[in-house]
Amino acid sequence: MSKATITRLFAGSLIALVAGIVLAAVGAALAIASGAFIVSGPGVTGVDIAQLTGGAIITLTIATLGIVGGAIGQFVAWIGAVVNTARLEDKTWFILLLVLGLLSFGFIAMLIYVLAGPNDVPAARDRQVYSATTA
Residue 116 has pLDDT above 80, yes or no: yes
Per-residue pLDDT reduced to its tens digit, 81-101: 999 999 988 899 999 999 999
CA distances from 5 to 20, 51, 111, 121 (A): 22, 44, 14, 13
Output the pLDDT for position 8. 96
* pLDDT at 133 (0 to 100): 62
pLDDT tops 80 at residue 121: no
User: Is the pLDDT score of 20 beyond 90?
Assistant: yes
Residue type, 38: I
Structural domain boundaries in the chain: 3-116
Instruction: Give pTM, 2 decimals.
Output: 0.77
Whole-Å CA distances, 100 to 18, 67, 69, 71, 111: 22, 22, 22, 17, 12
Alpha helices for 34-134 (secondary structure H): 54-86, 92-102, 106-116
pLDDT at 129 over 70: no
Query: H or E segment at 47?
Result: strand 43-47
Q: How many CA atoms lie within 13 A of 120 on its CB side?
A: 8
Distances 47 to 12, 35, 62 between C-alpha atoms, Å: 34, 9, 20
